[in-house]
Amino acid sequence: MSVIQNPDSDEARELAKWNQPYRYQEYPVRMYLASRPVLGGPPEFESVKADDREEANLRSRGWGRGQFKAVELLEARELALATAAAERTHAERFMGDKAKAEARQADAATDAHVGEVPVTPIRRRAGRPKKIS
């Protein structure tokens, strides 16, 4: 049997707060980061729950909302790295001998693609040479 309440009473106003219809809230969200195993194979996933502020931070670091989005971001990173390596290989055709030696040294230092050779600063003399009297 139901109870009839005066809508102006404190109890009725409090019950009205609790009897609201369900509203979908998007957060917290599960974010995924895909990575490739060292020996190859299907991608591996790392996941974390995030609120709206954390989600923006994670998105800037390559995390995606859902596993499919994480795989898309992984493939985009791999494609960008491969493109940079191909562009560097093309640019080697126009490099001098010293620059080619630096590029070979950078390639030998790692097994991964090297999109850019680390810049070696050129040491220049500071100012004019001192006069010897």
Asked if residues 5 and 11 have their Cβ atoms less than 8 Å apart, the reply is yes
Encode 53-78: b = buried (16+ Cβ within 10 Å), e = exposed.
ebbeebeeeebbbeeeebbebbeeee
Mean pLDDT of 105-111: 84
Tens-digit pLDDT profile for residues 111-120: 777 777 777 7
Q: What is the pTM of this model?
A: 0.60
Asked if residues 31 and 51 have their Cβ atoms less than 8 Å apart, the reply is no
